Structure 1
Amino acid sequence: MINLELPKKLQMAQNMSHQLASTVFRPIARKYDKIEHCDTPQELIPIGQMLKSMGMSSETGGKDSSSDSVKNGANMMQVLATGEMSWGCIGLMLSIPGLGLGNAAIQAVGTPEQKKKFGGLHCAMAITEPGCGSDSAAVKTSAVLDGDEWVLNGEKIFATAASRGDAVVVWATLDKHKGKAAIKSFVVEQGTPGMSIVRCEDKMGLRVSDTAAILFSDCRIPKDNILGSPEIADTAEARKKAFGGVMQTFDNTRPPVGAMAYGVARAALEITKDLLLKEGVELNYDRTINNSSALQAEMYRMEAELEAARLLILKAAWMADNKQPNSKQASMCKAKAGRVGNKITLKCVELCGSLGYGEELLVEKFARDSKILDIFEGTQQIQQLIIARNVLGKSSSELK
């Protein structure tokens, strides 16, 4: 059973992450929001080295005191740390060397040897293609085995940290005619001949975090760089299981994306509360919502929505740490947090008036940053579809 009281080890990690967000991220957030397509901010390099030395990207965490069989491990630590650092600046958090989305894929499905080899690298993730967005099964980038090497050909877009990372985890198909079962993920290290960064995108939010397009042209990588089995399943049940292993990456990465939305929404809400307090608007939790002003009631509703998102995030992370299937819960927390995170930040801009819309405060930046969190790692609509399939017991072919 999940224990909502965090053990001391996780509290320490949470407090350290908040201190990092407060003392490092917040002071430079506006500076790097105005500088797009820069190299990795120098302020983040020692942070990446520190987190790596602490094992923040590995299976760490400690156990819940209620039972030796109940774990609070890497997933719980990640959502707590991510939420706190996103309170400072999501773009800077995503730019920390060594904390890429590709690292989550390696931890989810990599062999012990692959985790040892690639775990210390900063690994980006490349899934989306010009003709393949929300439907991950429509990947067209190909991988063909030639002797002891895989040969990759195709194009990827919207790959976070791909131009700065040490490697990219690339989704490719072994056979375009065999659908989901033939889709595998491969680790391609930077500098590999045949892999080139085509461009970095101009964006509304997360401006300090690079988002790149990548071209693979007869890109050769070692045979052992495939994550998971190279075999293509030959039965319906085996195909489902094989693609499920690839998709397990999302079950690990969606709770942290939910934590990003929670962190940025909490940041905007706290700034708004402080500003309202200076204007004499104080929240009184002794009164019912019907006996409060419209402004107070709006704040109470946003706080309630944010707390609901937080609890869903903790549940999904806890299930992942305890090896429980969490596909539905991962989508639930991502959908809830992504939606309310964007709603709250926009409402805070509105409540803060001209101060919220201007650059004196970070509220307008938080609003811009929050929008992508309801889109990447699966849109709001895709999350609701996954949840519906789980609730109704339908397959992807039965419910589209």
Structure 2
Amino acid sequence: MHFHHTLLALALVSGPVLAQGHHHAGRDASLGTSAAVDPQGRLWIARTEPAAQGAYVVLQSTADLGKTWSVLQRVQQAPETIEAAGESAPKIAFGPTGQVYVSYTHPLGKPYTGEIRFARSVDGGKSFSAPATVHADRAPITHRFDSLIVDRAGRVFVAWIDKRDAEAARARQQPYAGAAVYYAVSDDAGASFKGDYKLAEHSCECCRIALALDKSGAPVAMYRAVFGKNVRDHAIAALSADGKPTQPVRASFDDWHIDACPHHGPGLAFAPDGSRHQVWFDVAKDQGGVFYASATPAGKLGKPVRLGSDQAEHADVAVDGAHIAVVWKQFDGEATAILLRNSLDGGKTWQEKTLAHTAGNSDHPHLLRTPSGIVLVWRTQDEGVRVLPAT
């Protein structure tokens, strides 16, 4: 097994894990940034701003793909502790009529515990409500790694990793593999939430949840699941506003046996024809890396394609019509590059190129569909936030 994957196997399930091994220096917990495009086509980023008593979530927007940016806008009135690593950066999403939604994970005093916090603006981001905790369960346990999406009806969905079932099993002195995925729904523009709804039992503890809207406009989650005895592949399930999600089905089949959490969540996108496009990190037959595959509208998964070298990690995927773009990070011993695998004909042919590189620390790459096409958003310590066409 390669060196940086060996480190994963040495880690404890409950603790932080090096997903980057010997190039761990390429990651910086303070650089965690997410991005989204509003109904007017403006691109927004959400990140943190350090403060004496924690941090603020701050937002910026650009109408010209990063040439100029708005003034920083703080979401909270007072700072608080906020997780800002790449797997758990603050999230941003938009309603249909000027609403701006923000979610983030607020760590509590005990290790690996947290709350999922939410704030909203109804005036286009000029002012925000006081942050509120999304979930009804307030036990000081793991509620972490939030994901945020708005469906076509304007309903707000927040999903997270939750260990209430694991804690209950432990109290009964019964085994419980991993954590669980829960979610809550707001049908009043973020004023209140209904839940807590369980999406799935037995998820990995520290991998982000990918959310995307399918052809019908329903939110679908892809997450790292625990199958059998510590097989940590992926599953997908559709969320529903009534708390009755679909039964999860397996989405990757690498049969990766590991008693640890890789801190390495998947990416997910749907094409207009209903086909599913996914990227993920796994170790298959002692050869690990990043993989891409597509599934037919009926769910039949094609043969996975391994991306890049042994050092490939933290991929993302986006689809815009017949344009399919996949990016990932890759370290060559001196610098970290973002590589692009691109198809302009719905996946019939592909080209690869390097989009960007940096010598310092960096966040995960993000792909977004904009009115100008798919773009890469990548924040680095040395160069700041870059917005580059994924072509």
Structure 1 length-normalised TM: 0.24
Q: Highest Rg: 1 or 2?
A: 1
User: Which of structures 1 and 2 has the larger relative contact order (alpha carbons within 8 angstroms, sep 6+)?
Assistant: 1
Q: Which has the higher helix share?
A: 1
Structure 2 length-normalised TM: 0.25
